[in-house]
Chains A and B, each alone.
Chain A
Amino acid sequence: AQSVTQLGSHVSVSEGALVLLRCNYSSSVPPYLFWYVQYPNQGLQLLLKYTTGATLVKGINGFEAEFKKSETSFHLTKPSAHMSDAAEYFCAVSKGGSQGNLIFGKGTKLSVKP
């Protein structure tokens, strides 16, 4: 069975500081990995995804993530936080193939201090 663990339900950073949100997964097959962002009272927006190929994936709003198979990790980073990055972030995994349903982590709420 697949699962996702996000370390830290709350992360607080100062504006301009590095953002690092941690995600570890378990999967019996090569996974497809995703990061989504959810702003208050809104749906989920896809930030980036990894399916195959280059392990460093760049997404929207300056975010990127690196797939590390040996560490079963897919951490999300952004060099410099903006106030507008405050939101909840979800890491997700799918098997790909014909079953694309997502298994989500519990989410990490990011706060950005001025």
Chain B
Amino acid sequence: DSGVTQTPKHLITATGQRVTLRCSPRSGDLSVYWYQQSLDQGLQFLIQYYNGEERAKGNILERFSAQQFPDLHSELNLSSLELGDSALYFCASSVDATGDSRFGSGTRLTVV
């Protein structure tokens, strides 16, 4: 058990809709990362937060946004969903910002 909790585990929604994925980092971890895993793109870094502040941005679409709250949990918001957004979305956390990350079990998003 990595200590990183992601909810929900599965999500099925229609094109054009908006969803929110939630992540609770491992106790004591200040940094949260979001990744997307798809068959064609592989594992891609989306965004990093450290102690409530955005630290780094990767290949995150403008339709996607994230935030980290004072209790350190994070949410990834995906809007105007398209079929191509179907993927596994992972959250990871680390104590500091150096990347020794522990991963959650992911949220599988299916857009129909």
Q: Do A and B bind each other?
A: yes
**Can you list 24 A-B pairs with a CB-CB distance of less than 8 A?**
A34-B99, A34-B100, A43-B90, A43-B103, A44-B103, A46-B102, A90-B43, A94-B98, A96-B98, A97-B97, A98-B97, A99-B55, A100-B48, A100-B96, A100-B101, A101-B45, A101-B56, A101-B99, A102-B45, A102-B101, A104-B42, A104-B43, A104-B44, A106-B42
Residues in B whose Cβ lies below 8 Å from that of A103: 45
**By the criterion CB–CB under 8 Å, are A32 and B105 in contact?**
no
Looking at chain B's contact residues, the main secondary structure is strand
Give the interface of A toward B (CB within 8 A). Answer: 32, 34, 36, 42-46, 49, 51, 90, 94-107
Number of interface residues of B (CB under 8 A): 28
Ordered nearest first, which 8 A-B pairs have the shortest CB separation? A100-B99, A94-B99, A104-B43, A43-B103, A44-B103, A43-B105, A101-B45, A100-B98
Bound-state CA distance A45–B4 (Å) is 12
For window 93-112 of chain B, which residues contact chain A by CB distance below 8 Å? 94, 96-106
**By the criterion CB–CB under 8 Å, are B56 and A42 in contact?**
no
Select which of A45, A100, A102, A105 is within 8 A of B2 by beta carbon.
Answer: A45
Bound-state CA distance A101–B60 (Å) is 13
Interface membership of B58, Cβ < 8 A: yes
**A43-B2, A99-B55, A102-B43 known; 12 other A-B pairs, CB under 8 Å?**
A44-B103, A95-B99, A96-B99, A98-B97, A99-B48, A100-B33, A100-B48, A100-B98, A101-B56, A102-B101, A104-B42, A107-B43
- CB of B98 to closest CB in A, whole Å: 5
Bound-state CA distance A94–B101 (Å) is 11
Bound-state CA distance A106–B41 (Å) is 8
Bound-state CA distance A16–B45 (Å) is 35
Interface membership of B86, Cβ < 8 A: no
- CB of B101 to closest CB in A, whole Å: 7
Interface membership of B68, Cβ < 8 A: no
Interface membership of B31, Cβ < 8 A: yes
**By the criterion CB–CB under 8 Å, are B101 and A43 in contact?**
no
Residues in A whose Cβ lies below 8 Å from that of B56: 99, 101
